[in-house]
Structure 1
Amino acid sequence: MPPTLILIRHAQALHNTDRALHAVPDPPLTDLGRAQAVELREHLKAHLPAGRMVQRIVVSPMRRAVQTCLIALDWLIEGGVPIVPDARWQELYPKPCDTGTPASALAKEFPMIDFTGLDPVYPDKTSPAGAAYAYDKQAVLARGQDALRELYGRDEDVVVVVSHSGFLRTCVAGKWFGNADYRGFEFEEREGDGEGNFRLVEIEETRGKGGMGKSKEGEVTLGEGLDGIP
């Protein structure tokens, strides 16, 4: 049986405060973002669905996602739950704020995390080598499916993922995510030979405005808003 997924959007980062700051490469959390991550931590400790069965944490290698993970999920990490950085969960866009930091630098900044398994092409998403991460409709939708396929085949009870609003909304979940908010999902049952797209069904506890109540309501068709890109 595939795991339950708890999908978290990172807390407020520098570029979320001013569009002019989209030019800042891989921006960190703001002071407010750190406070949001602490608030999320306390909420999750009390209310995370199936929280006692979390056996894996997957995190986008982008700085704001890693920082959110280390603050909000420290209680799971201290309990021995492994952290797995995965380039598939990075944000969509090629802007500086949505382009990551090389693994060698991340390893120095976050020595408590093992980045050796990170795709060596990261953070490239513009050259032919980084084509799987390109800002291209077909590529980003395929990346979303690849990310879900990898988790579908795992045997953990619950996997927590820390990622980004654009990728979660348009390529994975079809739902809105506010900063430092989360939603829980089960995989839709796959019939017959199991071919076709992987789809998620949100659990009752987070439907509407998300687990923290900070997210916009409503459904989003996967791929919506991506028709204007190549």
Structure 2
Amino acid sequence: MHRLSIDYSIPDPALTVLGAGLQCDTLRAALKQLPLEIDLIVSSPMRRTLQTTTNALGWRMAEGCPAIALAEFQENSAKPCDTGSDAAAMAAEWSAFDWSEVDPVFPAKTGLYEFSKDGLTRRGVEARKWLRGRKEKVIAVVSHAGFLRVGVSYCQYANADFRVFEFAEGEEEIGGRLVEWELTEERAGGLGKSEKGVFGWETQHFPEEKVEEGVPAEDAQGASAVKVAS
């Protein structure tokens, strides 16, 4: 849900004028029309998602809906544009958000947050488990198209578009099975700007994996722990 500058060397960039203005305005109007009352907002702790949350969901925050920053929903790569800023400084700047659950390692791209197939697989599972374990009925997640696609819902997201899912029985080992509402599935996103269909793992989504000498590539990579949602 963001509009990113084409200069990937800019650290944790802000939204463009288009993203912060027209795109967030359009998103806000659409979210207000949903037959849902949002109980909780969770945002990636990166600048552009915090802006998107404030601009598109600030009306709900003003009504008392809590907003949490969570490192699990940050962007994928380790490029400057996809790496967050110091959490303490961001918490001071974005004080309307609860920063108490942000992993202390943020913004380092290590462990659960490393840019690798294994890292993104594990992070996607943890993100889904976190969502499913919450007591709130309706949670708005403001994250990044890349992570949502490969780690959470396996759907495409255009800039500032949205989709609505419910948890169904099954696939507990990956945090639960997500079923998309027909409303957004048939329209290819709530604003109709995204692509229809399910998008699984693709090689270009991850950095090239190192293969140990004498070990076939397929054995070194192992089996994916994530299933494509049906």
Q: Same fold (TM over 0.5)?
A: yes
1:91 aligns with 2:75: yes
Alignment gaps of 5+ in structure 2: 210-230
Match of 2:15 among 29, 33, 45: 29
Instruction: Tell me: CA distance 1:154–1:114, structure 2 relative to 1, closer, same or farther (3 Å).
Output: closer
Partner amino acid, structure 1, of 2:74: Q
1:102 aligns with 2:86: yes
Instruction: Tell me: CA distance 1:85–1:197, structure 2 relative to 1, closer, same or farther (3 Å).
Output: closer
What's 2:96 paired with? 112
More strand by share: 1
Does the Cα contact within 8 Å between 2:115 and 2:206 map onto a contact in 1?
no
Partner amino acid, structure 2, of 1:218: G
What's 1:5 paired with? none
Matches within 5 A, 1:44-123: 44-46=31-33, 48-50=34-36, 52=37, 54-123=38-107
Alignment gaps of 5+ in structure 1: 1-9
State the percentage of identical aligned residues. Answer: 43
Does the Cα contact within 8 Å between 1:49 and 1:184 map onto a contact in 2?
no
Compute the displacement of 1:49 (Å).
Answer: 4.0
Instruction: Tell me: CA distance 1:91–1:113, structure 2 relative to 1, closer, same or farther (3 Å).
Output: same
Matches within 5 A, 1:66-215: 66-125=50-109, 130-190=110-170, 194-195=172-173, 198-208=176-186, 209-215=188-194
Compute the displacement of 1:195 (Å).
Answer: 4.1
Aligned residue pairs, count: 206
TM-score (norm 2): 0.84
Greater RCO, CA 8 A, separation 6+: 1
Instruction: Tell me: CA distance 1:149–1:37, structure 2 relative to 1, closer, same or farther (3 Å).
Output: same
TM-score (norm 1): 0.84
Which of these two proteins has the greater Rg computed from alpha carbons? 2
